[in-house]
Structure 1
Amino acid sequence: MNLPNLEPEAIDRIVEMAWEDRTPFEAIALQFGLQEPQVIELMRQQMQASSFKMWRKRVSGRKTKHLKQRDFDNGRFRSQNQKGS
């Protein structure tokens, strides 16, 4: 899979956002242009195997990681570092 050249700071922020339970993959796509499979590949590259497996197990099927599956839309904190409306 082709990943764009990213600055170390951007990689750190993507990993941080992907690790957060309530930051959806769509927010990462909006801010950095990476789709969910690219984020997964980046996480695989940046994390130890055991940490990656734990992360995948935790986010697989998690409603809060996908905007379309969320039960809520408004009233949640949005980081100032996160782009979008």
Structure 2
Amino acid sequence: MAKPVPRLTPDDIQRIIATAWDDRPPFDAVLRTHGLTHGQVVALLKRELTPNAYKVWTARTKSAAGSPARNARR
């Protein structure tokens, strides 16, 4: 189970969401800049985004994570 998301300012939340919507897998970038783990990012976005936006984000994240890097290893 993921650690609870720490208290964040509205500005921090907006920056994390913007980083998460980036075209490459965002988890390493969020961890480096905000110290949040993969599970914390998922919990934060699930809480802050609309259900439809969250579904779109998860689909984008899954497809971005599997495209170039996965194909390069084959």
TM-score class, shorter-chain normalisation, is: 0.7 to 0.9
When the two chains are superposed, the root-mean-square deviation of aligned CA atoms in Å is 2.0
Residue matched to 1:11:
13
Q: Could you tell me whether the CA contact under 8 Å between 1:3 and 1:38 is conserved in 2?
A: yes
Superposition TM-score, scaled by structure 1 size: 0.68
What is the aligned counterpart of 1:41 among 40, 43, 54? 43
Residue matched to 1:21:
23
Instruction: Give ranges in structure 2 of 5+ residues lacking alignment.
Output: none
- Counterpart of 2:55 in structure 1: which amino acid? K
Q: Could you tell me whether the CA contact under 8 Å between 1:25 and 1:36 is conserved in 2?
A: yes
- C-alpha distance in 2, partners of 1:29/1:56? 18
Superposition TM-score, scaled by structure 2 size: 0.77
Structure 1 segments (4+ residues) deviating >6 Å: none
Q: Figure out how many residues of one structure are paired with residues of the other and give that number.
A: 67
- Counterpart of 1:22 in structure 2: which amino acid? R
The CA deviation at 1:40 is: 0.8
Q: Could you tell me whether the CA contact under 8 Å between 2:24 and 2:61 is conserved in 1?
A: no
Of Structure 1 and Structure 2, which has the larger fraction of its residues in helix? 2
- Counterpart of 2:33 in structure 1: which amino acid? Q
Q: Could you tell me whether the CA contact under 8 Å between 1:18 and 1:25 is conserved in 2?
A: yes
